[in-house]
Structure 1
Amino acid sequence: MSKKIKLLAAKQCATYNGHNGTCYVTDADCKPLGCPYFERAVLPTDGALEMRYWQARGAVYNDMPTCVQCGQVYQRKSNRQKYCSDCAATKARTRSREAMAKRRANVNDSGEK
């Protein structure tokens, strides 16, 4: 997660100096973890990363959904969503694979159903 946060800071933080990786405000190495400007202005641009960031820092999201498979907090795209985007793709491949295996099992040797 810290790589994604540093990448987000490098791309979107107005106080990040891209030439040497320092912060214009503190004139020290850019440390987005705990930076109030980063937390207020930059982090909200990526909702899923923001939820993971605050969860790692001890914030509790009672109303935020957690993935059934991996337990990560994620941002819902519909009210029926049960999986985060990574696990949803994996689950879809698994369901597709199982459905195709079932379909192939129903076909006999001559190719008829």
Structure 2
Amino acid sequence: MQVKDLAALEGFVTQTMENGDDSVLDAYAGDLLSDVMGNAPSDSVLITIQAHKNTVAVASLAGIKAIIICNQRSTPPDMLQAAKEESIAVFTFDGTQFEASCKVACLLGKVDARKG
């Protein structure tokens, strides 16, 4: 899939997307940024509640292409500016990380929503 495909998911709101054509191969859900830095696969989507500039720095180091901020958290201007500079897309989602993870997993073809 491509980063721009995330924008079509129900409930996902694009905050910035400079890299819509970049490929996404996987996803990682986590809030402990040291864990994300050590374990998130490159070319992935980070699903988190950590809405700050340091999240973008970690995503950049890990080769993450997009960040989804869950649980109705807002994205501060300095985070969005850093994301633009690093060409990392940022989306917000009012639902939980679990709900976002399920949507992304279906989009990636990791699970089939019709099978339960």
TM over 0.5: no
More strand by share: 2
More helix by share: 1
Higher-Rg member (1/2): 1
Structure with more relative contact order (C-alpha pairs < 8 Å, separation 6 or more): 2
Q: Please, what TM-score do these two structures have when normalized by structure 1?
A: 0.27
Q: Please, what TM-score do these two structures have when normalized by structure 2?
A: 0.27
